[in-house]
Structure 1
Amino acid sequence: MKNKKPKNIFREGPISPESIAESIAKHQSKTTIGAHDIFLGQVRADIIEDKEVRAIEYSAYEDMAMDVVHEIRENTFEKFDITCMHIYHSLGRVNVGEICLFVFVSSPRRRTAFEALEFVVEEIKAKAPVFGKELFEDESFVWKENK
């Protein structure tokens, strides 16, 4: 990893629509950007063994996860011609319908933004030590699989 300190990607609870809008708005003055691509991971009301998911409670090996995501960020900047990237993941309880993962990639060209975003999201899901318990109405749970 380059001599940069890993950024804290974690936010307690859901990622608010206001913070997403603020992040987007901050890029209006960056005139070398021609495309943004955004991934919003939202908690679904899945049915598992006849029970409906009401929320996911996220936990992580935080320091390790930040190091892993930092490495993914660095690899993405090396692999793709992107201008900037923001990644935020929830910790704690996130209810159905709320946002738990926000990835925002900017690039001079749209195709690059699309490809970089897909790369980043798939790498995070495969490698970051972030875990989710799918909580049911009766407060029972199952550990979520990253698919």
Structure 2
Amino acid sequence: MKEHKKKKVFVQGPVSPQFVADSIASHQSKTGIGAHAIFLGQIRADQKEEGVVSGIEYSAYEEMAEETFHKIREAAFAKFELSCLHIYHSLGLVPTGEISLFVFVSSAHRRAAFEASEYIVEEIKAKVPIFGKELVGESGYVWKENK
């Protein structure tokens, strides 16, 4: 099986709705695709002991994280019949209500797209060295627990 080109995953700040829309539009000419599965991770305004979360500031060991993202992509291509696979994750501050993770999976059939999307998100949460500090109330930052 051929190895796919490494792709840059990190974007500074939130993933914009326009970026998501443009990504979808760029796949219209790929007529062998019959299904897309899209996962958007949005920042919640959780209530914490210290106050309400107003955003998350993400940091990462970028080189290690990019390599881990690549391994996850390669594993997904090996495990599922996929046409395309794109992952984007925010660095820096992402306010509540904004998108910090965009996973876009395309395949000939829906089942592969659905299953691959779930697999990829779970692998990212378990393996990629990304760290989030929640901005909470007046108290400042609290390290986020990954759930």
TM range (shorter): over 0.9
The reply on whether 1:83 has 2:83 as its aligned counterpart is yes
Q: Cα deviation per residue 1:89-125 (whole Å; 9 max; x = unaligned)?
A: 0000000000000000000000110000000000001
Give the AA of the match of 1:88.
Y
Stretches of structure 1 that go unaligned for 5 or more consecutive residues are: none
Amino acid at match of 2:28: Q
Aligned residue for 2:63? 63
1:94 matched residue in structure 2 = 94
Is the counterpart of residue 126 in structure 1 residue 126 in structure 2? yes
Aligned residues: CA RMSD: 1.3
How far apart in 1 are the matches of 2:131 and 2:50?
Answer: 22
Once residues 139 and 101 of structure 2 are traced to their aligned partners in structure 1, the CA distance between those partners, rounded to angstroms, is 23
| More off after superposition, 60-69 vs 6-15 | 6-15
Look up the SS of the partner of 1:89 in the other structure. strand
- Deviation, 1:137, is 2.8
Secondary structure at 1:90 match in 2? strand
Return the TM-score normalized by structure 1.
0.95
Matched residue SS, 1:100: strand
Q: Give the paired residue count.
A: 146
**SS state at 2:32 partner:** coil
Alignment match, 1:36:
36
Aligned to 2:110: 110
Structure 1 residues 144 and 81: CA distance shift in structure 2, 3 A:
same
In the alignment, the residues of structure 2 paired with residue 4 and residue 79 of structure 1 have an alpha-carbon distance, to the nearest angstrom, of: 14
- In the alignment, the residues of structure 1 paired with residue 25 and residue 35 of structure 2 have an alpha-carbon distance, to the nearest angstrom, of 13
Q: TM-score, normalised by structure 2?
A: 0.95
SS at match of 2:59: strand
Alpha-carbon distance in 1 for matches of 2:45, 2:102? 19
Alignment gaps of 5+ in structure 2: none
CA shift for structure 1 position 4: 5.4
> 2:45 maps to which residue?
45
Could you tell me how far 1:50 is from its partner in structure 2?
Answer: 4.9
Structure 2: how far apart are the matches of 1:95 and 1:18?
Answer: 17
* Whole-angstrom CA distance in 2 between matches of 1:140 and 1:50: 9
| SS, match of residue 78 in structure 2 | helix
- Counterpart amino acid of residue 132 in structure 2: G
Per-residue CA deviations over 1:3-45 (Å, capped at 9, x if unaligned) read 6553210000000000000000001011110000000000000
Provide the secondary structure at the position in 2 that maps to 1:138: coil
